[in-house]
């Protein structure tokens, strides 16, 4: 019994330590974020932010777009198979439009960014830890949080919401293509249906979620990297942990935000 | 006058004492070699001197400032007067050799780009790498990487130059070249040099004084002659390269006999 209690206690302390580490790192990143801003910040950090925007955002466009198109078709087809029986096929428009703006757009984007960039952050920083590059930064009077993390965070805060909007558009377009071929609904009418079903609050809720997801992906990916100790195998473990933990936390955060929006009347 | 003063330094990892009440003064302008075997605590001591870790107790004063208690801003200011060449070189792999050397100059000084380029060329020329500035670290040999790390450490004309295992992993000729480079830099700029090593020929070539570490304590601190003349059993063992114990045929036989006679094997 004592062993079981010890295990529970140890696990609890480890989780608290992890959450504490994330919170401290997030606060340090927010404080360092000013250095990555254009005009007022350090121009080298802003340049690094632009590079990160290309890597996190632009290079992810084909993947996010394709995932959104496939998910849009799936949602439209699955919805249509049930709604057709009820004689409410036109509700597929609402289902796809609201489903993507509120939920699927930010979530699919987060999954893609987590898999592509969260793991890359962890591997990059983990390798820097193993090769003493982070120590080198510190002894050269650079703050690793400002030098490494802030540009990534700023870039993610900008491009992840943009990718979410792209994901929404692609998903809704996929729904339109399905409706055109299954019901011969014209693009104009479909677009009108989409615009009447989406409210500004839905878009805002989706964007707020995508900002939260960007924060989780960057902070978890970087923390896993900074916690690497040992050799290359530790980098591999941290990369896996970054994807697993950020995916889990993204879904938990999604549930929390959805509940908040639901109970505050947003949905 | 001591540029670095260590007093009663105690470092523990998970309750295990790694440095046990060390005290040492490193005089301005001298070359101090921290000599010791694997696990003696010399790398831990170096990390403490660089302010990369906090001790359990004791103090380290650098230029009169206690770096174990000073603010982060003060530590950053002090670090600009310290250059470090890491064991693994710790060059930033995403940057060319020129950019590695230029990094601190660009960010910590207001020098014009043309002046930065000139200083970078001078530093690379000082270590014999003026023709290799455009290359990336992965394109250099082990010895060249170490020299590039020295050039980067010299970028801000530090008062204190630190080498962590400069000869590790190098053939004797390249290791000897690095020793000569350290002596040349010392003569040229009169800086304080701290070298962590377990290589006896290197230590006796470059040291003004040697601090001999064993199991987290100093066995002796003195000039080359004093260390060579020491009759301390552990120092003699280290200098005379006498192994602690080796597996003999008799001990292997005894182990096998014991194993064969054990109840598990018999049953």
Looking at residue B66, its pLDDT comes to 95
Looking at residue A255, its pLDDT comes to 96
Q: Which of B51, B86, B108 sits opposite A136 (nearest CB)?
A: B86
Q: Which of B79, B91, B152 sits opposite A141 (nearest CB)?
A: B79
B66 three-state secondary structure:
strand
Token pair belonging to B124:
């690379």
Looking at residue B54, its pLDDT comes to 92
- Please list every residue in chain A whose beta carbon sits closer than 8 Å to the beta carbon of residue B91: 133, 136
**Buried/exposed code over A140-159 (b: 16+ C-beta within 10 A; e: otherwise):** bbbbbbbbbbbbbbbbbbbb
| B163: β partners | B85, B195
| Low-confidence winner among A5-14, A246-255, B63-72, B244-253 (lowest mean pLDDT) | B244-253
CB A57 within 8 A of CB A155: yes
B116 close to A (CB below 8 A): no
- Residue B92: closest C-alpha in chain A: A133
- Dist CA A80 CA A104 (whole Å): 17
Q: How many CA atoms lie within 13 A of A3 on its CB side?
A: 0
Looking at residue B58, its pLDDT comes to 94
Q: What is the mean pLDDT of residues B235-260?
A: 79
Looking at residue A1, its pLDDT comes to 57
- Please list every residue in chain A whose beta carbon sits closer than 8 Å to the beta carbon of residue B86: 132, 135-136
Mean pLDDT of chain B: 90
Looking at residue B263, its pLDDT comes to 79
Query: How does DSSP assign A197-260, residue by residue?
Result: H--HHHHHHHHHHHHHHHHHHHHHHHHHHHT--SSHHHHHHHHHHHHHHHHHHHHHHHHHHHHH
Looking at residue B245, its pLDDT comes to 67
B209 close to A (CB below 8 A): no
pTM of the model: 0.87
- Dist CA B112 CA A129 (whole Å): 32
| Low-confidence winner among A230-244, B198-212, B231-245 (lowest mean pLDDT) | B231-245
Max distance between CA atoms of chain A, in angstroms, equals 69
Token pair belonging to A196:
């009447």
Q: What is the dihedral of CA B129, B133, B135, B139, to 10 degrees?
A: 20
Question: pLDDT below 50 — which residues of chain A?
Answer: none
B76 close to A (CB below 8 A): yes
Which regions of A129-179 does DSSP assign to beta strands (E)?
none
- A 133-152 residues with CB below 8 A of B? 133, 135-136, 138-143
CB B134 within 8 A of CB B97: yes
Cβ contact B90–A141 (<8 Å): no
**Buried/exposed code over B25-61 (b: 16+ C-beta within 10 A; e: otherwise):** bbeeebbbbbbbbeebbbbbbbebbbbeeebeebebb
DSSP classification of residue B25? E
Count other Cβ atoms within 10 Å, centred on residue B118: 12
Calculate the alpha carbon distances from A55 to A116, A216, A251, B55 in Å.
Answer: 9, 18, 24, 40
Where are chain A's structural domains?
43-263
**Chain A closest-CA separation from residue B222 CA (Å):** 28
Cβ contact A140–B90 (<8 Å): no
| B61: β partners | B5, B66
Q: What is the mean pLDDT of residues B137-165?
A: 92
- Dist CA B85 CA B152 (whole Å): 8
Token pair belonging to B42:
């010399």
Token pair belonging to A114:
């987590």
CB A107 within 8 A of CB A164: no
B254 backbone φψ class: left, alpha, beta (φ>0; ψ -120 to 50):
alpha
- Please list every residue in chain A whose beta carbon sits closer than 8 Å to the beta carbon of residue B88: 131-132
Tell me which residue has tokens 């925007």.
A53
Confidence of residue B248 (pLDDT cuts 50, 70, 90): low
Looking at residue B217, its pLDDT comes to 92
Calculate the alpha carbon distances from A179 to A84, A98, A188, A193, B116 in Å.
Answer: 12, 16, 12, 12, 62
- Please list every residue in chain A whose beta carbon sits closer than 8 Å to the beta carbon of residue B93: 131, 133
Q: Which of B52, B93, B152 sits opposite A135 (nearest CB)?
A: B52
Distance of CA A217 to the CA centre of its chain: 6
Best mean pLDDT range from A50-59, B30-39, B123-132, B230-239: A50-59
Instruction: Please say whether the structural domain B28-52+158-266 has been given the CATH code 3.10.450.350.
Output: no
Say how many CB pairs under 8 Å bridge A and B.
46
CB B170 within 8 A of CB B146: yes
- Dist CA A172 CA A75 (whole Å): 10
Confidence of residue B264 (pLDDT cuts 50, 70, 90): confident
Q: At what angle do helices A105-113 and A232-263 cross, to 10 degrees?
A: 170
Cβ contact B103–A135 (<8 Å): no
């Amino acid at each position: 019994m004592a062993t079981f209690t010890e295990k529970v206690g140890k696990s609890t302390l480890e989780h608290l330590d992890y959450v504490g580490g994330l919170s401290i790192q997030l606060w340090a990143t927010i404080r360092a974020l000013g250095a990555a801003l254009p005009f007022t910040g350090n121009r080298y950090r802003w340049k690094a932010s632009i590079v990160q925007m290309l890597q996190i955002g632009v290079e992810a466009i084909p993947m996010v777009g394709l995932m959104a198109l496939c998910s849009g078709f799936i949602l439209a087809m699955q919805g249509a198979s049930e709604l057709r029986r009820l004689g409410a096929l036109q509700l597929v428009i609402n289902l796809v439009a609201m489903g993507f703006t509120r939920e699927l757009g930010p979530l699919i984007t987060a999954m893609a960014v987590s898999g592509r960039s969260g793991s890359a952050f962890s591997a990059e920083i983990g390798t820097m830890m193993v090769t003493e590059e982070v120590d080198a930064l510190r002894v050269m009077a650079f703050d690793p949080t400002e030098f490494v993390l802030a540009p990534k965070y700023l870039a993610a805060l900008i491009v992840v919401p943009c990718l979410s909007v792209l994901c929404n558009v692609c998903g809704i377009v996929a729904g339109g293509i399905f409706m055109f071929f299954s019901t011969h609904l014209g693009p104009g009418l479909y677009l009108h249906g989409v615009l009447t079903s989406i409210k500004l609050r839905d878009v805002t809720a989706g964007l707020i979620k995508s900002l939260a997801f960007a924060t989780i992906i960057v902070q978890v990916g970087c923390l896993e990297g900074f916690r690497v100790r040992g050799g290359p195998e530790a980098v591999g473990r941290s990369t896996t942990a970054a994807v697993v933990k950020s995916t889990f936390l993204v879904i938990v955060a999604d549930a929390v935000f959805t509940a908040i929006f639901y109970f505050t009347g947003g949905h | 006058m001591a540029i670095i003063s260590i007093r009663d330094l105690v470092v523990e990892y998970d309750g295990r004492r790694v440095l046990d009440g060390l005290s040492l003064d490193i005089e301005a302008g001298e070359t101090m070699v921290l000599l010791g075997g694997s696990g003696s605590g010399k790398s831990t001591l170096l990390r403490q001197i660089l302010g990369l870790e906090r001790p359990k107790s004791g103090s380290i004063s650098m230029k009169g400032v206690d770096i174990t208690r000073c603010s982060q801003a003060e530590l950053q200011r002090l670090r600009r007067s310290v250059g470090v060449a890491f064991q693994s070189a710790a060059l930033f792999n995403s940057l060319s050799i020129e950019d590695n050397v230029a990094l601190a100059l660009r960010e910590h000084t207001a020098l014009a780009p043309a002046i930065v380029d000139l200083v970078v060329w001078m530093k690379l020329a000082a270590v014999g790498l003026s023709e290799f500035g455009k290359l990336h670290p992965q394109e250099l040999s082990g010895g060249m990487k170490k020299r590039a790390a020295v050039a980067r450490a010299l970028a801000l004309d530090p008062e204190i130059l630190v080498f962590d295992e400069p000869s590790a992993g190098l053939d004797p000729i390249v290791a000897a070249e690095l020793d000569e480079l350290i002596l040349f830099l010392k003569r040229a700029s009169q800086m304080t040099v701290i070298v962590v090593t377990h290589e006896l020929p290197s230590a006796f070539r470059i040291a003004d004084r040697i601090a001999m570490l064993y199991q987290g304590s100093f066995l002796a601190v003195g000039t080359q002659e004093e260390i060579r003349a020491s009759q301390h059993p552990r120092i003699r063992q280290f200098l005379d390269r006498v192994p602690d114990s080796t597996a003999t045929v008799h001990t292997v036989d005894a182990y096998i006999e014991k194993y064969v006679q054990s109840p598990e094997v018999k049953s």
